[in-house]
Amino acid sequence: MIIYWGQSIIIGFYNFIKILNLKNFTTENFKINGQTVEPNNATKYKTAIFFVFHYGLFHVAYLSFILNVFSFDMSNLIFPGIAVTIFFFDHAYSFKQNFKEVTKKKQNIGTVMFFPYARIIPMHAIIMLGAYTNESIIPFLLLKTIADLVMQAIEYKM
């Protein structure tokens, strides 16, 4: 769970960077405080800041649950730390390779902002359902795999 949480943080970080670097985007069906907005820099910055705080608060809450419910020794974080570090560099490489293509495409800023939230559904479901035992790993992995496949399909479609 802690590795998945770390990966979600990294995905959120790169999504924040992606939002800030959108050049040509739409705001169709996207509102801020119930108001329609124009596809301009002010909208881009407000969206990026909202995303960081909202997505970040979810992850602070998840970390609290993970640390308080799943028992593990903090000294055993070496493997998760290595796994998350490898994921960070892998994601950085992928982001750099696709940066020009991603920022060139005309995308809906609302879709870009909400995209990483699909990733937190498995973590949220396991925590909210109270499946805090070792038996929760199978449902978690199934939900995680489905979420990752759906995200990948949507991303390639965008």
How many CA atoms, within 13 angstroms, populate the side-chain half-sphere of residue 105?
15
Q: Which residue from 114, 122, 116, 84 is spatially nearest to 14, judged by alpha carbons? A: 116
What tokens appear for 68 in the block?
């308080």
Q: Are strands 31-32 and 35-36 parallel, antiparallel or unpaired?
A: antiparallel
What is the residue-averaged pLDDT of the chain? 81
- Domain residue ranges of the chain, discontinuous segments joined by +: 2-117
- Whether the pLDDT of residue 132 is over 90: the answer is no
Q: Where is mean pLDDT largest: 89-93, 123-127, 152-156? A: 89-93
| pLDDT tens, residue by residue, 10-31 | 999 999 999 999 988 999 999 9
| pLDDT tens, residue by residue, 105-129 | 788 999 889 888 877 777 777 666 6
- Whether the pLDDT of residue 138 is over 70: the answer is no
